[in-house]
A and B are shown apart, each in its own frame.
Chain A
Amino acid sequence: MIASVLPTKRDEGWRYADLTALEPVWNDVADVTEIVAVPAGETLDRQIVIPPATLGVSVTDLNVTIGKGGTFNLHLLNAAAHYGRMHVRVTLEEGAHFEMGGAILGKGEETLEIVTETIHAAPNATSNQIVRTVLSGRATGTFMGKVHVARDAQKTDAAQSVKAMLLDRTATANAKPELEIFADDVKCAHGATVGELDKQALFYMASRGLDPATAQRLMLQAFIADSFINVADNTARETIENKALEILEALS
């Protein structure tokens, strides 16, 4: 949801945003919300791979409704912007499914974020969100995911898995899963970790003759693999994976 007034850090959904970068382009991006409606019983796949930026700022905003028994598969690659924001608000009707896989790959002074609001409005809906973040330099990568389960949305099953890898100690990762549950028979799982490359594994790989750059590439490739594993279309999956690998190469 984008307000017409420039947001401030006090607006919860914008607390980690780069508002200084946002201000000059605010009039261009304040109104970009795209409405997506997945009809009942249907499946829609969507990949958003590094959307274009204005003055280094890229803002994506989706407002999605998934009809009864429908499925929305969303895959996001957030990278290569001075400030890149992806905001997704999803409302699930009865028995609907929302699948999201995202990667945030930041370097230098970049501020990149994926912010989701998942609203389980009716019973038996499921959602699964996987976000992998790799950061170098002084980059900031943020995932904020709010899951709201309405009073009669019984048998909701909502999962969030958020993992971040810092290649430099000067980078910052924020992970903020949030649950708001008003029904009593639901399953909501969330896990968040922030870590560094396993030094033991790097030495093990080097001892077999792998040069450090290749060893790091293999480990990061494995680390972000979960983000795009569920892209159904092979060509689409390869496109987003290859782009991500290209970005990863440039991080270190």
Chain B
Amino acid sequence: MLKIENLHATIGDTEILKGLSLEINAGEVHAIMGPNGAGKSTLAYVLGGRDGYEVTEGSATFNGQDILDMDPHERAALGLFLGFQYPVEIPGVSNLQFLRESLNSQRKSRDEEPLSGGEFIKLAKEKAALLKMDMDMLKRAVNVGFSGGEKKRNEMVQMGILNPELAILDETDSGLDIDALRTVGSGINAIMRDEKKAVLLITHYQRLLDEVQPDYVHVLAKGRIVKTGGPELALQLEEQGYEAVAA
């Protein structure tokens, strides 16, 4: 599904990703762990298509299509979802309007019929309930006045509504209390655990991986994947730290 080969990316003059390779197939959950500054968020942003990152070498394809030359909204329409570490506030734009326009924009570029207002509300209610989010919050402006935990929950509601093929979740667990972590974890499982879908979890902690069991765990250090293993690797990292494991 996602194939990254020898990816090099820079911000300004600084090279952050230095030859990263990773392959994710349908039905798999991958976790990327790594120390601060290793390039985890950069990887997420490069795959999402954020401005300011330059790919200097290597490739990334999604279902065989080169995504690096595509605009962010085109990548989303292909089925790529980026869960933000710091979800952005958009004053004056309601969650519902934003998501309906987003979904219909995606559907349009896939030559699908737009969802009617009624169909959309039904879908939104279902996904909000899954994440235990009050419908009233969906009527409010996007993330404005939301707590850190509510923002992350809102990311997952958005993921549920948009129903992507691949979700790249950048520290979705940070800022969550234990109950919210459990809700978000089961939300990820309910929405994304499917033989046709895949998840890339970027995280610092083992806790989320208790809720969402990864098939593979990768250690990202200094812009490359330095070690790959099964779920046990995350436990080993938690006990011994990055330096000992990745050295």
Binding site for B on A (CB under 8 A): 198-201, 203-212, 214-215, 218-219, 221-223, 225
Contact pick for B73, options A206, A218, A225, CB 8 Å:
A206
Note all chain B residues with C-beta closer than 8 A to A219. Answer: 90, 92-93
B55-95 interface mask toward A, CB cutoff 8 Å, 1 = contact, 0 = none?
00000000000000001110111000110100111111100
Say yes or no for B206: interface residue by CB 8 A criterion. Answer: no
Residues from chain B with a CB closer than 8 A to the CB of A221 are: 92-93
Name the A residues within 8 Å of B172 (CB-CB). Answer: none
Question: What would 7 A/B residue contacts be, using CB atoms closer than 8 Å?
Answer: A201-B88, A203-B51, A207-B48, A207-B72, A207-B82, A212-B71, A218-B93
In the bound complex, residues from chain B placing their C-beta under 8 Å from that of A223 are 92
* Chain B minimum-CB-distance residue to A199: B51
The one of A208, A209, A222 that contacts B92, using a Cβ cutoff of 8 Å: A222
The yes or no answer to B101 lying at the interface (CB within 8 A) is yes
Which residues from chain A contact B99 at a C-beta distance below 8 Å?
208
- In the complex, what distance in Å separates the CA atom of A200 from the CA atom of B103? 20
Knowing A204-B90, A218-B97, A218-B98, say if A209 contacts B76 (CB, 8 Å): yes
* Other 20 A-B pairs with CB < 8 A, given A209-B73, A209-B106, A215-B73: A198-B88, A201-B89, A203-B48, A203-B51, A206-B49, A206-B72, A206-B76, A207-B48, A208-B102, A209-B105, A209-B109, A210-B98, A210-B101, A210-B102, A210-B105, A211-B109, A214-B101, A219-B92, A222-B91, A223-B92
Whether A208 lies near B51 (C-beta < 8 A) is: no
In the assembled complex, which residues on chain A have CB atoms less than 8 Å from the CB atom of B89? Answer: 201
Contacts of B71 in A (CB 8 A): 206, 212
- The contact of A209 among B50, B77, B87, B141, by CB within 8 Å, is B77
- Classify chain B: how many residues form its interface, as a range: 20 to 34
Chain B interface (Cβ < 8 Å from any Cβ of A) = 48-51, 71-73, 75-77, 81-82, 84, 87-93, 97-99, 101-103, 105-106, 109, 141, 158, 162
Taken together as a complex, chains A and B put the C-alpha atoms of A248 and B209 apart, in Å, by 47
Question: With the chains together, A212 CA to B162 CA distance in Å?
Answer: 18
Asked if B73 and A212 make an inter-chain contact with CB atoms under 8 angstroms apart, the answer reads yes
Report the minimum CB–CB distance from A193 to chain B (whole Å).
Answer: 13
Complex Cα–Cα for A223 and B141 (A): 12
Contact A205 B51 (CB under 8 A): no
Q: Are A222 and B162 in contact (CB under 8 A)?
A: no
Q: With both chains docked as a complex, state the minimum distance between the C-beta of A196 and any C-beta of chain B, in angstroms.
A: 14
Q: In the complex, what residues of B have CB within 8 A of residue A198's CB?
A: 88, 90
Nearest-Cβ distance from residue A4 to partner chain B, whole angstroms? 44
Contact A205 to B103, CB < 8 A, known contacts A199-B51, A210-B73? no
Cα distance A221–B88 when bound, in Å? 18
